[in-house]
Amino acid sequence: MAIDAVAASAGTGTDEEGLHKQYDTPLGLAHTTMQALKNRIKLHYDLASDYYLNLWGEHIHHGYWATEESKAGDSKEVAQLNLIKLLLEIAGAPVGQGSGVLDVGCGVGGTTRYLASELGATVTGITISSKQVQIATRLTKTAAAASSSSEGSSSAADADADGFILLGKGKVRFLELDAEKMGEFFAAAEGTFDAVWISEALSHFPNKALFFRNTQKLLRTGGKLVLADWFKANDLSEAQFETDIKPIEDGMLLPPLCTQSDYVQRASEAGLSVVGNGPKDISGDVAKTWDISWSLVQNPALWGFAFSQGRDGIAFLQSFRAMRRGYAAGTFRYAVMAFEKK
């Protein structure tokens, strides 16, 4: 069936018994190997990043609504920036003028650009998706040109010899790189980064312990790891896992989800110390993200695109409903945290 025909047949219903029921399908295919999983993640983001940008904007991460007033009044764009500001706050503002930052799993570069343009950092964003590098670079050049024009400068938004583009007070570049190889790729910069930033990407990594070890190597003494991610709750029953967590793992192309304490343990084993009181669980303050997301994905053309991608595409959109259910049940959690290299 052609995609246009699929989209046309989807209708425009917005309730939870609507579009996804018409395309009901078994959950995503099992991960035969970790490399196969990474290949599927890369393909997913190569194919879907334009949709992410159109539907969710340049910051492809949760929004943070800390008060009832903000929940009622703040847009998702404001809430997304509020999450970045919260991360800076809990980490002790490790990013400033001239600081070196590695943004791991940078998506289309929304946070990367913010840290450079607003705080003056020199930021390298890495992603496994070549499509995301293309989009991020294009958006950065557009932003840089607009910034130069508003300041009366005629300087072009061209990259320097190291690939950095001047943006506001700082500069950015984007690289296609499997994050599990970042330790060897940046070996010459070992011990020099002021911050490693990772937002909602570590849950995709098969070898999380390796990420913490690589981060410890790349950070300077006193440097910070700034982290936001999704987690499963502690002590789930088998029924809770199968109902709430397994659909998220399958649909979002995740290896087994960790608990918050798992991350703290792995960071400690890698030689990183918790900043402050440890993870800050903000599940209730970000859950609105998935109410908005569910509304946005009731676009028939998007379901048609997902259908064309097979089980993975449909399982991805169906997992949005599982996200909402998991937040409501308390089985699916969201936390921010920071670690320091002593």
In a domain, 282, yes or no: yes
The answer as to whether 268 is a domain residue is: yes
Give Cα separations from 125 to 146, 277, 316 (angstroms).
21, 28, 25
Residue 317 lies in a domain: no
Do the domain assignments include residue 219?
yes
Q: What's the CATH number where 162 sits?
A: 3.40.50.150
With 50 as the cut, is the pLDDT of residue 20 above it? no
Asked, for residue 204, whether it belongs to a domain, the answer is: yes
pLDDT value at residue 15: 38
**pLDDT greater than 70 at residue 70:** yes
Place of tokens 């010899």: 161
Domain that holds residue 182: 30-241+256-291+333-341
SS (H, E, C) 277-316: CCCEECHHHHCHHHHHHHHHCCCHHHHHHHHHCCHHHHHH
* CA pair distance 17, 26, nearest whole angstrom: 16
**Short-list 83, 16, 41, CA closest to 297:** 16
pLDDT score recorded for residue 117: 96
Q: Encode pLDDT of 206-256 as tens digits.
A: 899 999 999 999 999 999 999 999 999 999 999 999 999 999 998 888 899
Q: Residue 184 falls within a domain, yes or no?
A: yes
The confidence band for 121, taking pLDDT boundaries of 50, 70 and 90, is very high
Residue 151 has a pLDDT of 62
Can you tell me the mean pLDDT for 293-302? 77
pLDDT at 311: 75
Q: Give the pLDDT score at 179.
A: 95
**% of residues, the chain, pLDDT over 90:** 66
Strands 332-341 and 100-104: unpaired
Lowest mean pLDDT among 74-88, 161-175, 310-324: 310-324
What average pLDDT does range 289-316 have in this prediction?
78
pLDDT-derived band of residue 142, with 50, 70 and 90 as boundaries?
Answer: very high
Q: Specify if 311 maps to a domain.
A: no
**For the residues 183-190, what does the mean pLDDT come to?**
97
- 305 inside domain: no
Domain count, the chain: 1
